Amino acid sequence: MSRPSSAPLPPGQRAWDRFPRFGLPRFAARWPDQAPILLRITDELASPLELLADDLACLPRREQTSDLHCATTWTACKLHWGGVSFTDFYQQIVVPRAQPDADCRHAVLTGRDGYRTSLPLEDLLGSDVLLADHLDGRPLSAEHGAPLRLIAPRHYGYKNVKYLARIRLQRDPAPGLAGWKDHSRGRVALEERGLRLPARTYRWLLRALLPAYECWFRRRSAATRPRGSSP
Ligand SMILES: Nc1nc2c(c(=O)[nH]1)N[C@H]1C(S)=C(S)[C@@H](COP(=O)(O)O)O[C@H]1N2
Ligand SMILES: [Mo]
């Protein structure tokens, strides 16, 4: 698989010809049970929502080819996602049914493995943000976030929550779990890799650690993968 990037690579990224399962160390061994889509929309809402696959089925399907940029400097190129646009989902389902307070401008996104991060609603309403349930024409695998994940190509991988289970809409931003590297926005073009250190420091540090970390994550992931999930 050698796919050139969909666009010129953003600063400090290098194209990989593979798309590994990846994440924070403590999530390598967490494989949520295979389960149908169940998405809870909660917090400062007139009516909290529980949505199933059927609720999303009324939205137009979207196919999109985009790159995924991990803050550790690797980029998986030209990934072909299928799903629904986050904007359609928000405007056509969340707004009419949950009636969010106009001051709720932040979303905390949680995965079924316990992973959590947040994004401003404004960023989630970008034209290329998807709730994806397909990759390369097939239902999402357990590796890559089945049954539903966020795809926000202009944000680092750590904002692209896999196994998406809950979206909490709230007035204030909330810190995520990516610790030292959880920037509140994580925009790739601005190299918002992390919060505390200059972008270049993160770039060189993470690039230096990446080979050892990738190897460790791959082994831990393989050792704990439930039987029946795709390698
Ligand atoms: N639920 C969940 N989502 C997550 C993570 C995670 O550990 N758990 N890791 C993030 C990070 S750091 C990256 S780079 C991407 C990697 O996506 P992939 O495993 O499909 O390659 O998922 C992101 N979303
Ligand atoms: Mo990442």
Which band of pLDDT confidence, cut at 50, 70 and 90, is reported for residue 187?
A: very high
A 10 A CB-CB count for 226 gives 10
Beta pairing, strands 49-52 & 62-69: unpaired
Mean pLDDT computed over 152-160: 97
- Stated pTM of the model: 0.95
Q: Tell how many helices (H) and how many strands (E) occur in the chain.
A: 5, 11
**DSSP secondary structure letter of residue 113:** T
Which band of pLDDT confidence, cut at 50, 70 and 90, is reported for residue 136?
A: very high
Can you name the residues that pair with 15 across neighbouring β-strands?
75
Nearest CA to ligand 1 atom 8: 115
Mean pLDDT computed over 18-41: 94
CB neighbour list of residue 97: distance below 8 Å, 6 or more residues apart: 47, 49
Residue 39, domain CATH:
3.90.420.10
Letter for the amino acid at 11? Answer: P
CB neighbour list of residue 204: distance below 8 Å, 6 or more residues apart: none
| Residue-level pLDDT at 47 | 87
Output the CA 105–ligand 1 centroid distance in Å: 23
The reply to whether 187 falls in a domain is no
Which band of pLDDT confidence, cut at 50, 70 and 90, is reported for residue 195?
A: confident
Domain that holds residue 101: 14-177+199-224
Contact of 12 with 75, CB cutoff 8 Å: no
The reply to whether 189 falls in a domain is no
| Residue-level pLDDT at 166 | 96
- Cβ < 6 Å from ligand 1: which residues? 19-24, 27, 70, 111, 113, 115, 144-145, 157-158, 160-163
A 10 A CB-CB count for 16 gives 18
Q: Is the pLDDT of residue 53 over 70?
A: yes
For residue 59, what are its two tokens? 């939205």
Q: Which atom belonging to ligand 1 lies closest to the Cα atom of 144?
A: 20
The reply to whether 190 falls in a domain is no
Q: Is the pLDDT of residue 3 over 60?
A: no
CB neighbour list of residue 29: distance below 8 Å, 6 or more residues apart: 220, 221, 223, 224
| Residue-level pLDDT at 179 | 59
Residue bearing the bigger pLDDT, 2 or 124: 124
Mean pLDDT computed over 117-136: 97
Q: Which atom belonging to ligand 1 lies closest to the Cα atom of 111?
A: 1
Q: Express as a percent the part of the chain with pLDDT over 70.
A: 93
Output the CA 96–ligand 1 centroid distance in Å: 30
- CA distance linking residue 152 with residue 123, whole number of Å: 8
The reply to whether 160 falls in a domain is yes
Cα separations in angstroms, 169 against 10, 166, 218, 231: 30, 10, 34, 35
* Sign of the dihedral defined by the CA atoms of residues 102, 103, 109, 114, in that order: negative
The reply to whether 47 falls in a domain is yes
Mean pLDDT computed over 157-184: 85
| Residue-level pLDDT at 178 | 63
The reply to whether 7 falls in a domain is no
The reply to whether 162 falls in a domain is yes
Output the CA 39–ligand 2 centroid distance in Å: 23
The reply to whether 99 falls in a domain is yes
Nearest to 95 by CA among 162, 167, 174, 149: 167
101-114 pLDDT per residue, tens: 999 999 999 999 99
- CA distance linking residue 150 with residue 64, whole number of Å: 13
Output the CA 199–ligand 1 centroid distance in Å: 20
Q: How many domains does the chain have?
A: 1
A 10 A CB-CB count for 157 gives 21
